[in-house]
Chain A
């Protein structure tokens, strides 16, 4: 069996692209984004956009993704 593990940066880019809605009682991509941004020490929107652009150079981040990143970064107790 071959197990492949994506890098944190790639995972962050994919999560930013999908940015799926939270379900009742399940934060979904939002929780994962908060975790990954904290884990990778991403401290600005521009840094998140740069990570996204590495993997999706022809697309801009969606309005929702931008807003979610802003929200996570504005929290004083971000992970």
Chain B
């Protein structure tokens, strides 16, 4: 079982059909919702995805979707779009409308209201999904990473305590061995 794609490159890597590409892209859009910082989002799109044109029928449409999302996401996070998104091969050969846009009016709305990054690559889609939850501060960490960090912190704390106890034991031994201080051991119970 493959994990959900976390970058546009992984979307392309895991896709062998146009339908599979659609599912992977949807999974990626769900993953993007969990990213809270601009640097995390930037990492999701900087790697150049392999071209899908030639891998399966209508691969040029998939390439255009990837490039469109890269540009759209870059504009949302105030970053320069990656250079690969403007390669000439990242444009659909024919204007693409969803199969569900059968009514002329729906197609007209798509022609009018598709976001520019999509329009310029021959993709016409309404209400393109891209939900971001950016927030100030450090990027949110996944639960398993938090558990690892906490375990490491606990381990460092215990190691420090062991060292302190060892130093204390050595001090007590040195004290009891010395004839001048013999009998003057500190009373810890006090």
Interface residues of A (CB under 8 A from B): 18-28, 30-31, 62-64, 67-68, 70-71, 74
Contacts and interface: CB of A to CB of B under 8 A. Distances in A.
Contacts of A25: 17-23
Interface in B67-100: 96, 98-100
Interface stretch (B32-40, B103-111, B141-149, B175-183): B103-111
A21 B19 contact: no
B12 interface: no
Interface residue tally on B, bucketed by range: 20 to 34
Interface of B: 17-23, 25-26, 58, 61-62, 65, 96, 98-100, 102-103, 105-106, 109, 113, 125-129
Nearest to B100: A30
B110 to A, nearest CB: 8
8 contacts: A19-B127, A23-B65, A24-B58, A24-B65, A31-B100, A67-B106, A67-B109, A71-B102
